[in-house]
Amino acid sequence: MANLKEVKERISSVQSTQQITKAMKMVSAAKLRRAQDKIVQMRPYSQKLTTILNNVSAASEGAADIVYASKREVNRVLLVPITSDKGLCGAFNSNIIKATNAAIKNQLQGKEIQLLPLGKKALEFARKSKYPVVSNFSGVFLDVAFDNVKGAAEYAMKAYESGEVDQVFLIYNEFKNVATQIIRTEQFLPMQTETTESEEKKAEVDYILEPSRAYIIEELVPTSLKIQFYKAVLESNASEHGARMTAMDKATENAGELLKELKLMYNRTRQAAITNEILEIVAGANALG
């Protein structure tokens, strides 16, 4: 049985860990509120912008003259895995790494792969891989702002436009709620311009384009793509704080259960030590008698 000093040291260590995990949970809860507000506000704007773009593209000439919608034979693919900068958020980062590996082995087998990691954990994974890595934009989560994220989006768009890559995928966690994040492997380029039945009815709206359709497409398409890219980063940011909050809450509960067991062990050890001392005293008294 462990001695009292060892058990007391373990109790003190677990109590310190519990205080840290509880503080981290509270910090993540505060950050989650702000991140959740951002993504809730961004979703309707992003969806409406995409709908307008699809409707305008469906009208008249279609999407043939949109460079980012042109499809070609896929030989080179750019993958953008989006993780966090820090750990202690459960399976949040490992799920993205697994999804990236799965996409490479299954969906993109035989293709030339290039990685553009966002987040330090994604950068660590990318550097360990055998694929070329674009590491210029890995620090976007130091300040999650549109101006900081659009640089990565512009790089992907230019790489596709120049023919350096034939396809671009975003791999990220979509925020559903605090306890649930959905892994998304989303095609970023070439952009999807197909419309559903409900969208086809909306596309019947007669748009008056001013000054011209070409100018609107030229301005609207890049903006829409950058917003879509930024939305994926916001989704991942909110998911990260939700995952960390859940993980730290569970860790705090586990620390509480462990403390109960350690305190019970401490009391039993202490009681056994006192009993042994009493027995020694009685034995000594009997010997003197």
Residues noted as catalytic: 89
Look at residues 72, 71, 65 and name the one whose alpha carbon lies nearest to residue 218: 65
Distance CA 31, CA 29 (A): 6
Distance CA 187, CA 265 (A): 55
Contacts 24+ apart (CB under 8 A), 3-9: 3/269, 4/266, 4/269, 4/270, 4/273, 7/262, 7/265, 7/266, 7/269, 8/266
Length of the chain: 289
Close Cβ partners of 153 (under 8 Å, ≥ 6 residues apart): 225, 226, 229, 230
